[in-house]
C-alpha cells in the first residue's frame, strides 16, 4: 500500500492506512515493509474470496429473478449462507482423477490457473492509498499474468484425457489468443493519452472535472468509449463468460475442460473464472472509468475505495445480466468477431486517440470539429465492419399455403 | 511433408470419413455424444466423427428407452392401450390419445358427439402451443442461452398443464380420450380459463419474439444451418413443421380435414430455406395460427354430451378389419395402424412416430457443420425419446 496519507483527508479515506499502521506499526522498519506486503496479500485474498462467494450467490439470485424463479433461498436468510454451504459441499466431495489422466498436470492446472489469476490483483489501485504493488509497468504485468491463464486451461483440457475436454482446450486456445489482441490493443490508446503504464498514474491522469461537472474519465472521450466497449467485449471472451463461454459450452461439450474435474478442484476453476472476471473489470474501471475517482466534486466525501467497489460491482452485474440474456456464439463466429471486427476497430481507435491527442489545443468552433471527426472515426468503421459481420442475416417474411 | 491437396471434404449429404491422415488434418476424432449428454434430449446417442470441430459422420443410436410399446399393445385391450399412448410423446399426450382414439373409432365405425370433437380440437391445439413453446425454449438452451428462454417457455407450459390437470386429473399423462368421445366433461369455469389463457398467449409470443427472434446471435447460429431440401424431406417421409419449413405445404389438418378442422379458419405457414431458423419461425407462426383456432373453437363449442351414448367401453370388440389413421401432431404425422381379428385386443398394433422418422435425416443435416451446430440441429428436429424408442 502506498505512501502515507496527508492528514487533510477524511478519516474514512485514511482508515485502511491507520488500520495497517495499528497492526504493523510496532515493527522495525525493514520488517514492517514485509509485514505490510503480507497484510495486503491477506486483505486482497480475503476481500476477493468473499466477493467471489457472494458473487456466485448474486449471480444465481439475479439469474433466478430474470428467469421467473426465486434462486437459492433455503440456506440462511435469503440464501445468504448458500456460498458457504456450496464450499462445504465442494470440499467434502470425492476428488476423482481419471485413470488415463496425466496425474501431475491434472492437479497442477487448477492451481496454476488460480495462482495466475490472483497475481493480477496485485497492481489494481483499489483506492487512493490502496495499491498492493506499485509498478511502473503495472498494465503490462497485469496482461502478462492474465494471458498466462490460457496455458492452465489448455493444461486442464489436455491432462484430462477426455475428448470433450480436448475439444474445449482447443477452443479455449483459439478463443483466448484471438481475444488477447483486441484486449491489448484497446488499452494502448489509454497509455498513449496518459503517457504512463503505471495504474496509479493512469488513475491520477483521469482526475479533475471539466466545468466542475464532467469528470476527465477516459470513457467520456469518443475513442475512450470505443476502447471501453472493445475492452469489455474482449474481457467477456477472456473470462469465458456468456455469450463467449465456448470452452465450457454445456449444451455441446458437457462442461468442456472441467468435465473430468470434481470436488474442490472444480471449485478452484470456478473461483479462478470469477477472479479473472473481477480482475478484468477492475482493470476496466482503472483504465476507462477513472479508477477510484468520484464522478462529481461534491461526492468526494465518499471514500475512494467505495467508488472503486461501486464501479466494479456495476461492471460485474453487467456480466451477469449479459449471461442471463444472450445465446452463445459458434467458434468460427467468435474468432471472426475478434479478427475481422474488434482488431481492426481497435487499430482504428488507436489512430483516433492519436488525432485526439494532437488536437488537444483546438478550442472554440474547432472543438466541435474535433468531436465531429473523432465521432466519425469511431462510428464509421463500426458501421462498415459491422455490416460485414451480419451479411446475409436478417429477419425473414413467411408465406402461407 | 507433402503439400498435395487432400481429397477435399464434401459438405454434401453422404460424405463419408476421409481416410487421409495428412499433416494438416491429422486423425479424425470420434466422440460418443450421449446417451447421457446435456443436449441429446433424453437418452439419445450420436456417434459423431469430427475433423477438428466439423462433423464428417454422424450415426444416431437409439433404443435406450425401448419398452415394447407395440408388443404390449397386442396383449392389452383396446382401451388398456390408451394410457400407454400418453407415454409415447410424453409432452403431447392429448394428441397421442386422439390419434389412437381416432384409429379405433375408424375401426369400429364409432361416431363422436359434437362437443367432444370441439374439446379434442381445443386440447390438440393447446398441446401444439405447449410443444412448440417448449421446443423454442429447448432450442435456445441448445444455442447456449443460459436458461432464460427455457424458463419463460416453462412458465407458459405450466399454465397449459394446469388446464390439462383440472380437466383430466393429470398434468402430462392425461389419458383423456375415449372411443366415442372424451372421458369427462370440462369442469365449471374451465372453458373460461382456457379462453383467458388463449387471449393472453399472443402477448407472451410477442414478448418472446421481441427478446429472441431478432437477436443477431440467434440469427447467426440458425440461418443457413442444417438446410433440409424439400426433395429430401419428402423422400425421407419427414412430416410436421420440419416439412413445412422446407417449403412443402402438407398439413394433415388441411389435407385430411379430420375432426372439425375444416370448420376453422387458419393458415399453414411455410418456410423457404428449410434451415434451423425456418424450423423455429414456422413453429412460432404455427402457434399464432393455433391461437386463432382456439379462439374460434372456444367461441363455438356447443353444450351437449361428450360421449356417444351407443359407445361400448366394456367388452369392446371391433369387427375384424385393418385401419391406419393419422393426425397432425405437434411433431408431425402421428399415426396408428391396427389390425383387428374381432377379439378384445388388436392383432397388430403399430405406431407411426413422427420423431423417429424425422430423426432419420439428422446426419444429412449435420454433415459439414460444426459440433455446436449439430446440437442445435438436433434441437430443431424436436424429438422425444419416449416416441423414438417406444
Q: Among A66, A164, A243, select the one facing B144 at the smallest CB separation.
A: A243
d(CA B307, CA A122): 78
CB contact under 8 A, A243 and B217: yes
d(CA A248, CA A323): 14
Shared domain for A72 and A97, answered yes or no, is no
Q: Among B212, B269, B371, select the one facing A252 at the smallest CB separation.
A: B371
A355 falls within a domain: no
Closest to B145 in 3D by CA, of A256, A230, A67, A153: A67
A211 falls within a domain: yes
- pLDDT, tens digit, 9 for 90 and up, residues B51-69: 877 888 888 888 888 888 8
| Segment A33-41 mean pLDDT | 83
pLDDT band at residue A83 using 50, 70 and 90 as cut-offs:
confident
Give the β-pairing of B29-33 and A399-400. unpaired
Cell numbers for A70, please give them.
Answer: 426465486
Residue A394 has a CB neighbour count (10 Å cut-off) of 10
CA angle B273, B278, B280 (to 5 degrees): 165
**Where does residue B166 rank: exposed (0-12), middle (13-18), buried (19+ CB within 10 A)?**
middle
CB contact under 8 A, A390 and B269: no
Min Cα–Cα distance to chain B from A235, Å: 18
The alpha carbon torsion through A141, A142, A143, A146 (nearest 10 deg) reads 120
Query: Is the predicted pLDDT of residue A5 greater than 60, yes or no?
Result: no
Per CB-CB distance under 8 Å, the chain A contacts of B271 are 398
B155 touches chain A (CB under 8 A): yes
Q: Among B143, B269, B373, select the one facing A327 at the smallest CB separation.
A: B143
Contacts of B28 (CB under 8 A, 6+ apart): B17, B18, B49, B50, B51, B56
Shared domain for A295 and A149, answered yes or no, is yes
CB contact under 8 A, B146 and A324: yes
Per CB-CB distance under 8 Å, the chain B contacts of A236 are none
For chain B, the distance separating the N- and C-terminal CA atoms, rounded to the nearest angstrom, is: 52
- pLDDT, tens digit, 9 for 90 and up, residues B81-96: 889 898 888 888 899 9
d(CA A307, CA A296): 11
B39 touches chain A (CB under 8 A): yes
Q: Among B142, B215, B217, select the one facing A251 at the smallest CB separation.
A: B142
Min Cα–Cα distance to chain A from B337, Å: 29
Count up the domains in chain A and report the number. Answer: 2
Per CB-CB distance under 8 Å, the chain B contacts of A401 are 244, 249, 251, 254, 267-270
Shared domain for A240 and A317, answered yes or no, is yes
A348 falls within a domain: no
Closest residue in A to B148 (Cα–Cα): A67
d(CA A198, CA A187): 12
Q: How would DSSP label each residue in A328-365?
A: PPPHHHHHHIIIIIIHHHHHHHHHHHHHHHHTTT--TH
Shared domain for A199 and A328, answered yes or no, is yes
Shared domain for A195 and A252, answered yes or no, is yes
Per CB-CB distance under 8 Å, the chain A contacts of B143 are 251, 327-328
- pLDDT, tens digit, 9 for 90 and up, residues A279-329: 999 999 988 888 888 888 777 778 888 888 899 999 999 988 888 888 888
A153 half-sphere exposure, CB direction, 13 A CA radius: 31
Report ipTM (2 d.p.).
Answer: 0.77
A88 falls within a domain: no
Shared domain for A56 and A105, answered yes or no, is no
How far CA B155 is from CA of A322, A376, B159, B169, B254, in Å, comes to: 21, 45, 7, 20, 31
Cell numbers for B280, please give them.
Answer: 423455429
d(CA B383, CA B64): 14
Q: Among A170, A326, A331, select the one facing B372 at the smallest CB separation.
A: A331
Q: Return the sign of the alpha-carbon dihedral for residues B211, B214, B216, B218.
A: positive
d(CA A316, CA A386): 26
CB contact under 8 A, B29 and A163: yes
Residue B268 · residue B244 · CB < 8 Å: yes
Q: How would DSSP label each residue in B258-273?
A: -TTGGGS----EE-SS
Q: Which residues of A touch B (CB under 8 A)?
A: 63, 66-69, 163-164, 166-167, 170-171, 242-243, 245-246, 249-254, 323-333, 390, 392-396, 398-401
d(CA A289, CA A343): 22
Cell numbers for B253, please give them.
Answer: 389438418
Shared domain for A281 and A316, answered yes or no, is yes
Q: What per-residue confidence (pLDDT) applies to B15?
A: 42
Query: Ramachandran region of residue B264, left (φ > 0), alpha (ψ -120 to 50) or beta?
Result: beta
Min Cα–Cα distance to chain B from A322, Å: 10
Assign 3-class secondary structure to A58-86: HHHHHHHHHCCCCCCCCCCHHHCCHHHHH
**Mean pLDDT (10-residue bins), chain B, 390 residues:** 41 44 64 76 83 83 87 89 88 90 88 89 92 88 81 89 90 88 87 91 87 82 86 90 90 87 90 89 91 91 85 81 90 91 89 90 87 87 86
A370 falls within a domain: no
Min Cα–Cα distance to chain A from B68, Å: 30
Q: Which of A297, A325, A341 is the last residue of a domain?
A: A341
Interface test with chain B among A157, A251, A324, A390, by most B beta carbons within 10 Å: A251
Starting at the earlier edge strand, list the strands of the sheet with B321-329: B321-329, B332-340, B348-352
Q: What per-residue confidence (pLDDT) applies to A134?
A: 83
Cell numbers for A86, please give them.
Answer: 456450496
Query: Is the predicted pLDDT of residue A274 greater than 70, yes or no?
Result: yes
Q: What is the pTM of this model?
A: 0.82
A99 falls within a domain: yes
CB contact under 8 A, A67 and B29: no
Q: What is the interface size between A and B, counted as CB pairs within 8 Å?
A: 127
Helix/strand/coil for A127: strand
CB contact under 8 A, B267 and A401: yes
- Which one is predicted more confidently, A243 or A3? A243
Q: Find the domain containing A208 and state its range.
A: 93-341
Q: Which of A300, A324, A341 is the last residue of a domain?
A: A341
Per CB-CB distance under 8 Å, the chain B contacts of A254 are 37-38
Residue A79 · residue A253 · CB < 8 Å: no
Per CB-CB distance under 8 Å, the chain B contacts of A325 are 145, 148, 211
Shared domain for A131 and A204, answered yes or no, is yes
Per CB-CB distance under 8 Å, the chain B contacts of A167 are 29, 31, 50, 53, 371
- pLDDT, tens digit, 9 for 90 and up, residues A106-149: 888 888 888 888 888 888 888 887 788 888 888 888 888 888 88
Per CB-CB distance under 8 Å, the chain B contacts of A163 are 29, 31
Closest residue in A to B51 (Cα–Cα): A167
d(CA B347, CA B76): 10
Interface test with chain B among A398, A399, A400, by most B beta carbons within 10 Å: A398
CB contact under 8 A, A330 and B148: no
Contacts of A202 (CB under 8 A, 6+ apart): A139, A190, A191, A194, A196, A286, A287, A291
Cell numbers for A266, please give them.
Answer: 472444480
Shared domain for A173 and A112, answered yes or no, is yes
Min Cα–Cα distance to chain B from A272, Å: 20
CA angle A26, A28, A33 (to 5 degrees): 100
- Which one is predicted more confidently, B225 or A15? B225
Helix/strand/coil for B334: strand
Shared domain for A158 and A282, answered yes or no, is yes
Interface test with chain A among B148, B246, B292, by most A beta carbons within 10 Å: B148
A373 falls within a domain: no
d(CA A136, CA A322): 34
A368 falls within a domain: no
Interface test with chain A among B48, B138, B145, by most A beta carbons within 10 Å: B145
Min Cα–Cα distance to chain B from A41, Å: 35
Query: Ramachandran region of residue A93, left (φ > 0), alpha (ψ -120 to 50) or beta?
Result: beta
Shared domain for A77 and A127, answered yes or no, is no
B46 touches chain A (CB under 8 A): no
pLDDT band at residue A360 using 50, 70 and 90 as cut-offs:
confident
B179 touches chain A (CB under 8 A): no
Q: Angle at which helices A222-238 and A304-325 pack, to 10 degrees?
A: 60
Shared domain for A120 and A40, answered yes or no, is no
Q: Which of A82, A104, A129 is the last residue of a domain?
A: A82
What 8-state DSSP symbol labels residue A289? S
Amino acid at each position: 500500500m502506498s505512501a502515507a496519507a496527508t492528514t487533510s483527508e477524511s478519516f474514512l479515506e485514511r482508515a485502511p492506512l491507520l488500520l495497517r499502521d495499528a497492526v504493523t506499526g510496532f515493527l522495525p522498519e525493514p520488517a514492517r515493509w514485509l509485514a505490510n506486503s503480507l497484510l495486503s496479500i491477506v486483505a486482497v485474498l480475503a476481500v476477493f474470496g468473499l466477493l467471489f462467494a457472494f458473487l456466485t450467490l448474486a449471480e444465481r439470485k439475479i439469474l433466478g429473478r430474470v428467469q421467473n424463479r426465486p434462486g437459492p433461498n433455503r440456506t440462511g436468510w435469503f440464501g445468504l449462507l448458500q456460498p458457504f454451504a456450496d464450499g462445504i459441499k465442494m470440499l467434502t466431495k470425492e476428488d476423482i482423477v481419471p485413470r488415463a489422466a496425466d496425474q501431475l498436470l491434472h492437479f497442477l492446472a487448477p492451481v496454476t490457473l488460480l495462482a495466475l489469476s490472483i497475481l493480477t490483483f496485485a497492481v489494481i489501485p483499489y483506492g487512493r492509498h490502496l495499491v498492493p504493488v506499485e509498478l511502473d509497468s503495472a498494465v503490462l504485468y497485469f496482461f502478462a499474468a492474465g494471458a498466462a491463464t490460457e496455458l492452465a486451461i489448455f493444461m486442464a483440457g489436455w491432462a484430462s484425457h477426455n475428448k470433450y475436454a480436448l475439444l474445449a482446450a482447443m477452443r479455449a486456445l483459439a478463443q483466448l489468443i484471438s481475444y488477447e489482441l483486441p484486449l491489448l490493443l484497446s488499452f494502448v490508446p489509454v497509455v498513449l493519452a496518459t503517457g504512463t503504464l503505471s495504474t496509479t498514474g493512469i488513475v491520477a491522469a483521469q482526475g479533475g472535472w471539466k466545468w466542475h461537472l464532467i469528470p476527465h474519465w477516459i470513457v467520456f472521450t469518443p475513442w475512450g468509449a470505443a476502447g471501453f466497449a472493445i475492452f469489455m467485449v474482449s474481457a467477456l471472451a477472456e473470462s469465458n463468460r456468456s455469450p463467449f463461454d465456448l470452452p465450457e459450452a454445456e449444451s455441446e461439450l458437457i462442461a468442456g475442460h472441467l468435465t473430468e474435474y470434481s470436488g474442490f478442484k472444480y471449485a478452484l476453476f470456478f473461483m479462478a473464472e470469477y477472479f479473472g472476471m473481477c480482475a478484468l473489470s477492475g482493470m476496466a474501471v482503472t483504465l476507462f472509468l477513472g479508477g477510484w475517482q468520484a464522478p462529481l466534486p461534491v461526492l468526494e466525501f465518499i471514500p475512494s475505495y467505495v467508488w472503486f467497489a461501486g464501479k466494479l460491482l456495476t461492471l460485474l452485474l453487467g456480466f451477469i445480466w449479459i449471461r442471463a440474456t444472450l445465446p452463445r456464439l459458434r467458434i468460427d463466429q467468435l474468432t471472426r468477431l475478434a479478427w475481422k471486427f474488434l482488431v481492426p476497430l481497435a487499430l482504428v481507435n488507436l489512430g483516433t486517440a492519436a488525432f485526439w491527442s494532437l488536437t488537444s489545443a483546438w478550442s472554440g468552433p474547432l472543438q466541435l470539429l474535433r468531436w465531429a471527426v473523432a465521432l466519425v472515426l469511431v462510428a464509421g468503421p463500426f458501421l462498415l465492419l459491422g455490416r460485414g459481420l451480419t451479411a446475409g442475416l436478417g429477419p425473414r417474411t413467411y408465406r402461407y399455403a | 511433408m507433402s503439400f498435395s491437396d487432400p481429397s477435399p471434404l464434401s459438405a454434401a449429404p453422404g460424405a463419408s470419413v476421409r481416410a487421409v491422415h495428412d499433416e494438416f488434418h491429422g486423425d479424425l476424432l470420434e466422440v460418443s455424444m450421449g446417451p447421457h449428454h446435456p443436449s441429446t434430449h433424453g437418452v439419445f446417442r450420436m456417434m459423431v466423427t469430427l475433423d477438428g470441430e466439423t462433423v464428417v459422420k454422424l450415426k444416431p443410436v437409439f433404443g435406450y428407452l425401448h419398452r415394447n410399446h407395440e408388443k404390449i399393445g397386442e396383449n392389452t385391450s383396446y382401451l388398456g392401450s390408451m394410457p400407454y399412448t400418453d407415454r409415447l410423446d410424453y409432452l403431447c399426450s392429448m394428441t397421442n390419445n386422439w390419434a389412437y382414439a381416432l384409429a379405433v373409432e375408424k375401426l369400429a365405425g364409432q361416431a363422436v358427439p359434437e362437443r367432444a370433437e370441439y374439446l379434442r380440437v381445443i386440447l390438440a391445439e393447446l398441446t401444439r402451443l405447449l410443444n412448440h413453446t417448449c421446443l423454442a425454449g429447448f432450442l435456445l438452451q441448445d444455442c447456449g442461452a443460459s436458461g432464460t428462454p427455457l424458463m419463460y417457455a416453462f412458465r407458459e407450459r405450466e399454465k397449459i398443464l394446469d388446464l390439462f390437470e383440472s380437466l383430466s386429473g393429470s398434468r402430462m399423462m392425461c389419458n383423456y380420450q375415449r372411443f366415442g368421445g372424451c372421458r369427462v366433461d370440462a369442469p365449471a369455469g374451465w372453458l373460461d380459463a382456457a379462453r383467458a389463457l388463449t387471449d393472453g398467449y399472443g402477448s407472451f409470443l410477442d414478448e418472446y419474439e421481441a427478446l429472441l427472434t431478432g437477436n443477431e446471435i440467434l440469427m447467426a447460429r440458425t440461418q443457413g444451418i442444417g438446410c433440409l431440401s424439400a426433395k429430401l424431406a419428402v423422400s425421407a417421409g419427414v412430416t410436421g413443421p420440419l416439412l413445412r419449413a422446407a417449403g412443402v405445404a402438407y398439413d394433415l389438418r388441411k389435407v385430411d380435414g379430420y375432426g372439425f378442422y375444416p370448420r376453422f379458419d387458419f393458415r399453414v405457414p411455410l418456410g423457404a430455406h428449410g434451415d434451423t431458423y425456418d424450423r423455429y419461425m414456422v413453429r412460432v407462426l404455427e402457434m399464432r395460427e393455433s391461437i386463432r383456432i382456439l379462439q374460434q373453437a372456444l367461441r363455438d363449442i356447443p353444450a351437449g354430451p361428450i360421449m356417444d351414448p351407443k359407445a361400448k367401453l366394456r367388452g369392446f370388440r371391433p369387427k375384424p378389419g385393418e385401419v391406419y389413421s393419422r393426425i397432425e401432431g405437434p411433431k408431425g404425422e402421428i399415426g396408428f395402424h391396427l389390425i383387428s381379428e374381432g377379439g378384445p385386443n388388436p392383432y397388430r398394433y403399430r405406431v407411426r412416430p413422427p420423431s423417429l422418422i424425422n430423426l432419420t435425416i439428422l446426419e444429412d443435416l449435420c454433415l459439414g457443420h460444426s459440433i455446436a451446430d449439430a446440437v442445435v440441429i438436433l434441437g430443431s428436429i424436436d424429438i422425444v425419446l419416449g416416441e423414438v424408442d417406444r
